[in-house]
Amino acid sequence: MSYAYATFDPNFNAEVDRLETFGPVGSTSNSENRLNGNMRILLADDHDMVRDTISAYLTSEGGAEITTTTDLPRALKEIEGSGPYDLVLLDYNMPGMNGLDGLQRALKANGGGGVAILSGSAPTRTAQEALDAGAIGFIPKTMGAQSLLNAVRFMSAGEIYVPVELMRQEAAASAHPLIAQLSPREVEVLSGLCRGQSNKEIARDLNLQEVTIKLHVRTLCRKLDAKNRTQAAMTAKEAGLF
């Protein structure tokens, strides 16, 4: 299986055109049909706006057949009843996921079909962890609509997809000594602080209680020698962690 990384420039669209003509390395015999729009996709996300927007765009612009649901148990039930799907897109923080444990369950259920992670808050290193666990891709929710469609086409054709900028951020973050002091959950909370999110917003995205986020913020301030959440975010940004 070959790897394909987003470059967010015109050459990326040219690469999609190339794959539509010749087919990706290691793809199955029906990959050309999938690239031409006959994709069966399961989208699981507990945020109504995100789910509805992505579904509508992939249907109207990509010609995909989309099934949507709101949590992992319902997603597994859909796969059992109607799968396997060409591609399953899972929100990293939706109910039932329990981190990447949900990815493993979906991979097993989808019988060899690709499973990718969607996230608006997970730290960059989670992308590599997802790939190591068998994901076919990692999609930031900040991705533009056309880039998302291109990514879905790649993954439906059997290509592994991660935005190259995300991997650059991961390389920079993993090399910094500050990151070694933090747990994966603390990194997720710190990512939210750097985006200016409130404790309530971070708690919602991570499916945690707000009081738990407050405790993480307090620990982050201590570990980063910061007086408050704003200074903790500034320290992380200045260090190039986010």
26 and 46 share one domain: yes
For the segment 158-179, what is each residue's pLDDT rounded down to a tens digit? Answer: 888 887 666 555 555 555 677 7
Question: At residue 4, what are phi and psi to the nearest 5 degrees?
Answer: -130, 125
Return the H-helix or E-strand segment holding 137: strand 137-140
Q: Can you tell me the distance from the alpha carbon of 229 to that of 108, in angstroms, rounded to the nearest whole number? A: 40
Whole-number average pLDDT of the chain = 79
Among residues 164, 194, 225, the one where a domain terminates is 164
Return the H-helix or E-strand segment holding 88: strand 87-91
Q: Which residues 6+ apart lie within 8 Å of 218 measured at CB?
A: none
Does 21 have pLDDT greater than 60? no
Query: Is the residue at 242 inside a domain?
Result: no
107 and 224 share one domain: no
Q: What percent of the chain has pLDDT over 90?
A: 38
Residue whose structure tokens are 């031409």: 36
Question: Looking at residues 27-35, what average pLDDT do you find?
Answer: 40
223 and 197 share one domain: yes
Among residues 118, 140, 164, the one where a domain terminates is 164
pLDDT at 123: 66
pLDDT at 51: 92
123 and 14 share one domain: yes
ω into 73 cis (within 30 of 0) = no
Does 191 have pLDDT greater than 90? no
pTM above 0.85, yes or no: no
| CB-side neighbour CA atoms (13 Å) of 82 | 16
For the segment 32-89, what is each residue's pLDDT rounded down to a tens digit? Answer: 444 444 789 999 999 999 999 999 999 998 889 999 999 999 999 999 999 799 999 9
pLDDT at 62: 85
pLDDT at 229: 93
Pick the residue with more confidence: 180 or 15?
180
Instruction: Pick the most confident of 17-26, 43-52, 123-132, 140-149.
Output: 43-52
DSSP 10-69: HHHHHHHHHHHHH--TT--TTHHHHHTT--EEEEE-S-HHHHHHHHHHHHHHH--EEEEE
Confidence class for position 28, pLDDT limits 50, 70, 90? very low
- Contact indicator for 206, 145 with CB cutoff of 8 Å: no
Q: Which residues 6+ apart lie within 8 Å of 169 measured at CB?
A: 124, 242
The C-alpha torsion from 217 through 221 and 223 to 226, rounded to 10°, is 160
Q: Can you tell me the distance from the alpha carbon of 152 to that of 223, in angstroms, rounded to the nearest whole number? A: 39
- Contact indicator for 163, 230 with CB cutoff of 8 Å: no
Print the domain residue range for 55.
3-164
pLDDT at 91: 93
Confidence class for position 144, pLDDT limits 50, 70, 90? confident
192 and 155 share one domain: no
